[in-house]
């Protein structure tokens, strides 16, 4: 790599001055005149037939502009909402339209929309819409969903089973025959509600005579939204523009196209005026997709020396009421459950079912936290079975650095990794040996300390195009445009669409080093489908590995063209020209340099550039990598459990993560902090609880516990740097790594603390009540 100033520097984010002064532009902040406000009448029933919808009383309410029921507008949609094949191409997936017509299948499903002159008027009128339902028995249990006699959610499918599929390699029967140790465990991945602090929101502005549609949406995927708005509404894609302005967090919850994007746009088309819909938290907790909601049944074969032989696992995935766009992405958990370890055989089965609950889709980590939770709980259970230290069990089974790039059983090839390195460093940071002694001492005094490890590998940086197309039906790559202006300033357009990740800063850092421009001279634009070519947006920790690499490559193309122009202006051979720090000069004569600004001017004076060369100084890149990138790391959580209350306190949290080259270490650490916090939230606090009646019981922030500052410690982070070989800037992804490791580390720590009570497992969230009961089940006696 070239010597660089910007890459590797913790540069303060350029996004921040607007955001800290309250002058950011979130969807609800955008100035707009002539708006109609949309309120959505949503089903309070989890499973029911719609008998009738009476809107006359609502139409009389003040300020009402229009009311549309599902039946009124169903025919306007020219296709159902998109579902990708993602890992399970032969699954059963029902057609889902943005609004229900005959039947509702989850609490929160849209049944009618009300347009009025203010948000309050729209909500008042929505309350006067009378919908009569004929309730049907709700399906709310993952396993019971496919029992004989279960109420059918989609009658036309004839079953609540979407798929039952296998991902297996190696001789699993032989592994179990060879084993000295065999054990089984059920691991519960409770339903989570993502809770971006900004809910979703959409403003749509359709111009009738021009037949153009502009949509501002709080989304992670403006490019996808554009395509599907065009398809469903029958407007030429060239006449649809989607803008993701400042977006207040996503965490996967804004990764798909949603009913409300279509409904808002359709309402604008019907009314011929701009329409705004802003999701409130009550809606958000039911209408924005949920995450996890899985059961993992695992069976393990191992030798008594701790050697792992094979794993047999079934992942039950609750898709909710429909198959969301990327609903089966979570099956990736089976594909990477091998983790950082060798084994002889893996036998994975995936079962996907429909229930009368909010659809599930990606939530930070999406399948990979579940995979890590599985294999890391297995490692600790194996340690317990063999009497070995959890560190030793991991070390015994680690894939070695020399084996990289390592092809795992199911055929995926890890690009690089040194798991011993990150674990060793984390153990040193936490003072593992001393900590174990302290734990033993404290136990004697009735204080219960627990130490939990999690090592992880992560597959991210989605593309490559061929692999992602084969797996998900969507060809994924990175995109950038680097454009030098007449005055030597640069615009960088990226295909990624950030919502807190700081791309305006980090992408400029990448370009600055190649172009030799001061970072202030580089403006980064994103999130607007009108400004550049198609992009593949932001999710799956992909932006820097794909779009960041594309920025690097476009900048290199611009630099190479600049060199050619410089050679022409300097009347020298191109190979004699050196380009350095934004200046070009003939080798040995740096004092007679011309600057990039002078070259840029020449590029637009086409008489001054070489014959046959086109004017301008810009380049576009579509970057398709040869492989995924594979970050890895080791996290250690130390907890103290209060025997009287069952409360778990995180005493320390140590993490060593390797995401390859770190463009901006400050931003990398920030991503880790937030990711770790979300995994801790799953481990200790969060649960989307549905009753047997199909109602969401934890449907407000009073009941659904998002971690507060008082619930969390400060985190102790270190890094190792193993550059990825699959892109020229050596980067991997970091957006999800924290979450992927942390729920496993926390639960391992709690189970370790409860070891004296004979506890081998605890379901998440490890609430004080659950912990207390486990500590007191034998009258509080230790073994």
- Give contact residues for other proteins (rule: CB under 8 A): 9-24, 26, 28-29, 120, 195-199, 246-249, 251, 280-282, 499-502, 519-520, 666-667, 669-671, 673-678, 700-702, 706-710, 712, 714-715, 738
Least gap, CB of 261 to other proteins (angstroms): 19
Closer residue to other proteins (CB): 29 or 102: 29
- Helix H or strand E encompassing 120: helix 119-127
Q: Tokens standing for 666? A: 């400050």
Least gap, CB of 586 to other proteins (angstroms): 31
Least gap, CB of 476 to other proteins (angstroms): 23
Closer residue to other proteins (CB): 288 or 355: 288
Closer residue to other proteins (CB): 10 or 606: 10
CA-nearest of 548, 538, 537 to 492 is: 548
Least gap, CB of 590 to other proteins (angstroms): 25
CA pair distance 636, 718, nearest whole angstrom:
12
Q: Tokens standing for 165? A: 């599929």
Closer residue to other proteins (CB): 22 or 158: 22
Closer residue to other proteins (CB): 123 or 171: 123
CB 113 within 8 Å of CB 41: yes
Closer residue to other proteins (CB): 196 or 619: 196
Closer residue to other proteins (CB): 410 or 666: 666
Closer residue to other proteins (CB): 385 or 504: 504
CA–CA distances in Å: residue 95 to residues 71, 161, 256, 323, 362: 16, 15, 16, 9, 20
The dihedrals phi and psi of 633, each to the nearest 5 degrees, come to 175, 180
CA pair distance 105, 43, nearest whole angstrom:
8
Query: For the sheet containing 308-320, what is the strand order?
Result: 161-169, 345-354, 308-320, 291-302, 181-192
Give me the half-sphere count of Cα atoms (radius 13 Å) on the Cβ side of residue 153. Answer: 36
CA pair distance 254, 196, nearest whole angstrom:
9
Closer residue to other proteins (CB): 661 or 676: 676
Could you tell me how far CA 470 lies from the centroid of its own chain? 20
Closer residue to other proteins (CB): 194 or 350: 194
Burial of residue 1 (number of CB atoms within 10 Å: 0-12, 13-18, 19+): exposed
Return the exposure string of 444-480: e unless at least 16 CB atoms fall within 10 Å of the residue's CB, then b: eeeebbbbbbbbbbbbbbbbbbebbeebbebebbbbb
Least gap, CB of 735 to other proteins (angstroms): 10
- The residue assigned the tokens 């939990």 is 452
Give me the half-sphere count of Cα atoms (radius 13 Å) on the Cβ side of residue 131. Answer: 28
CA–CA distances in Å: residue 684 to residues 79, 449, 643, 702, 713: 42, 16, 16, 16, 13
CA-nearest of 293, 284, 297 to 328 is: 293
CA pair distance 98, 232, nearest whole angstrom:
10
Q: Tokens standing for 781? A: 């006696």
Closer residue to other proteins (CB): 282 or 413: 282
Least gap, CB of 163 to other proteins (angstroms): 32
Least gap, CB of 520 to other proteins (angstroms): 7
Our CA angle for 186, 190, 193, nearest 5°, is: 165
Closer residue to other proteins (CB): 195 or 221: 195
Torsion angle of alpha carbons 644, 648, 650, 656, nearest 10°? Answer: 140
Partnered with residue 353 across adjacent β-strands are 161, 318
Closer residue to other proteins (CB): 62 or 560: 62
CA-nearest of 332, 299, 87 to 172 is: 299
Least gap, CB of 515 to other proteins (angstroms): 15
Least gap, CB of 453 to other proteins (angstroms): 20
The widest CA-to-CA distance across the chain, in whole angstroms, is 91
Least gap, CB of 524 to other proteins (angstroms): 13
Q: Tokens standing for 531? A: 């400004």
Least gap, CB of 230 to other proteins (angstroms): 28
Closer residue to other proteins (CB): 159 or 282: 282
Q: Tokens standing for 691? A: 């009753």
Contacts of 356 (CB under 8 A, 6+ apart): 46, 47, 105, 106, 138, 139, 140, 153, 321, 694
Our CA angle for 552, 554, 555, nearest 5°, is: 65
Closer residue to other proteins (CB): 520 or 645: 520
Partnered with residue 350 across adjacent β-strands are 165, 315
CB 261 within 8 Å of CB 254: no
CA pair distance 669, 633, nearest whole angstrom:
13
Least gap, CB of 645 to other proteins (angstroms): 18
Closer residue to other proteins (CB): 194 or 730: 194
DSSP 541: T
Least gap, CB of 404 to other proteins (angstroms): 30
Closer residue to other proteins (CB): 386 or 682: 682
Least gap, CB of 707 to other proteins (angstroms): 8
Least gap, CB of 271 to other proteins (angstroms): 21
Contacts of 149 (CB under 8 A, 6+ apart): none
Least gap, CB of 9 to other proteins (angstroms): 7
The dihedrals phi and psi of 356, each to the nearest 5 degrees, come to -85, 60
- The residue assigned the tokens 């590998």 is 457
Closer residue to other proteins (CB): 295 or 701: 701
- Whats the size of the chain, residue-wise? 783
Least gap, CB of 501 to other proteins (angstroms): 7
Least gap, CB of 81 to other proteins (angstroms): 26
SS3 414: coil
């Amino acid at each position: 790599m070239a010597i660089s100033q910007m890459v590797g520097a913790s540069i303060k984010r350029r996004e921040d001055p607007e955001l800290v002064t309250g002058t950011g532009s979130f969807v609800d902040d955008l100035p707009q005149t002539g708006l109609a406000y949309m309120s959505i009448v949503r089903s309070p029933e989890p499973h029911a037939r719609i008998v009738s919808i009476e809107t006359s009383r609502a139409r009389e309410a003040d300020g009402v502009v229009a009311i549309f029921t599902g039946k009124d507008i169903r025919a306007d949609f020219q296709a159902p909402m998109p579902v990708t094949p993602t890992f399970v191409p032969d699954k059963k997936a029902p057609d889902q339209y943005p609004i229900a017509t005959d039947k509702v299948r989850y609490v929160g499903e849209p049944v009618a929309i009300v347009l009025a002159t203010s948000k309050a008027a729209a909500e008042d009128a929505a309350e006067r819409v009378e919908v009569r339902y004929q309730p049907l028995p709700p399906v709310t249990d993952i396993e019971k969903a496919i029992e004989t006699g279960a109420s059918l959610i989609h009658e036309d499918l004839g079953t609540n089973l979407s798929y039952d599929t296998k991902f297996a390699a190696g001789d699993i029967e032989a592994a179990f025959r060879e084993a000295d140790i065999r054990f089984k465990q059920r691991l519960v991945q409770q339903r989570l509600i993502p809770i971006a602090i900004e809910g979703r929101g959409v403003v749509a502005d359709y111009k009738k005579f021009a037949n153009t549609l502009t949509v501002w949406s709080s989304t992670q995927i403006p490019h996808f939204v554009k395509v599907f708005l065009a398809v469903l509404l029958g407007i030429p894609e060239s006449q649809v523009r989607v803008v993701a302005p400042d977006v207040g967090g996503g965490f996967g919850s804004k990764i798909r196209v949603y009913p409300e994007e279509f409904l808002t746009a359709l309402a604008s088309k019907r009314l011929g005026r701009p329409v705004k819909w802003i999701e409130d938290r009550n809606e958000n907790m039911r209408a924005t997709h949920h995450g996890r909601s899985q059961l993992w049944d695992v069976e393990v074969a191992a030798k008594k020396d701790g050697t792992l032989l094979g794993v047999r696992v079934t992942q039950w995935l609750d898709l909710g009421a429909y198959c969301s766009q990327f609903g089966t992405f979570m099956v990736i958990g089976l594909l990477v459950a091998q983790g950082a370890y060798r084994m002889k055989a893996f036998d994975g089965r995936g079962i996907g079912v429909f229930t009368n609950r909010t659809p599930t889709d990606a939530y930070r980590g999406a399948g990979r936290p579940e995979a890590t939770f599985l294999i890391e709980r297995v490692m600790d259970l194996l340690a317990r079975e063999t009497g070995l230290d959890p560190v030793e069990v991991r070390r015994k089974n680690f894939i070695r650095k020399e084996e990289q790039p390592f092809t795992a059983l199911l055929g995926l090839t890890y690009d690089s990794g040194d798991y011993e390195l990150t674990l060793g460093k984390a153990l040193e940071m936490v003072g593992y040996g001393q900590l174990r002694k302290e734990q033993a001492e404290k136990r004697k005094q009735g204080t219960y300390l627990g130490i939990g490890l999690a090592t992880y590998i992560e597959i991210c940086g989605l593309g490559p195009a061929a692999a992602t197309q084969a797996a998900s039906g969507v060809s994924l790559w990175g995109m950038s445009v680097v454009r030098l202006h007449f005055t030597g300033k640069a615009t960088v357009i990226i295909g990624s669409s950030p919502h807190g990740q700081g791309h305006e800063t980090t992408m400029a850092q990448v370009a600055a080093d190649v172009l030799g421009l001061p970072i202030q001279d580089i403006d980064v634009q994103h999130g607007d489908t009108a400004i550049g070519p198609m992009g593949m947006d932001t999710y799956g920790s992909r932006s820097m590995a794909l779009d960041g690499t594309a920025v690097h490559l476009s900048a290199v193309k611009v630099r190479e063209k600049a060199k050619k122009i410089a050679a022409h202006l300097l009347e020298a051979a191109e190979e004699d020209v050196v380009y350095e720090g934004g200046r070009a000069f003939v080798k040995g004569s740096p004092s007679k340099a011309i600057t990039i600004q002078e070259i840029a001017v020449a590029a637009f004076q086409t008489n001054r550039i070489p014959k046959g060369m086109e004017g301008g100084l810009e380049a576009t890149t579509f970057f398709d990598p040869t492989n995924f990138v594979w970050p890895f790391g080791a996290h250690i959580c130390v907890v103290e459990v209060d025997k009287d209350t069952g409360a778990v306190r995180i005493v320390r949290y140590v993490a060593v993560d390797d995401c390859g080259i770190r463009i901006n270490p400050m931003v990398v650490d920030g991503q880790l902090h937030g990711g770790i916090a979300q995994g801790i939230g799953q481990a200790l606090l969060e649960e989307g609880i549905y009753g047997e009646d199909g109602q969401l019981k934890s449907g407000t922030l009073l009941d659904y516990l998002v971690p507060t500052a008082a619930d969390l410690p400060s985190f102790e982070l270190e890094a190792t740097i193993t550059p990825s070989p699959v892109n020229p800037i050596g980067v991997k992804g970091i957006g999800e790594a924290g979450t992927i490791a942390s729920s496993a580390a926390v639960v391992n720590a709690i189970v370790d603390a409860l070891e004296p009570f004979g506890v081998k497992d605890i379901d998440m969230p490890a609430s004080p009540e659950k912990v207390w009961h486990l500590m007191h089940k034998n009258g509080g006696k230790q073994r």
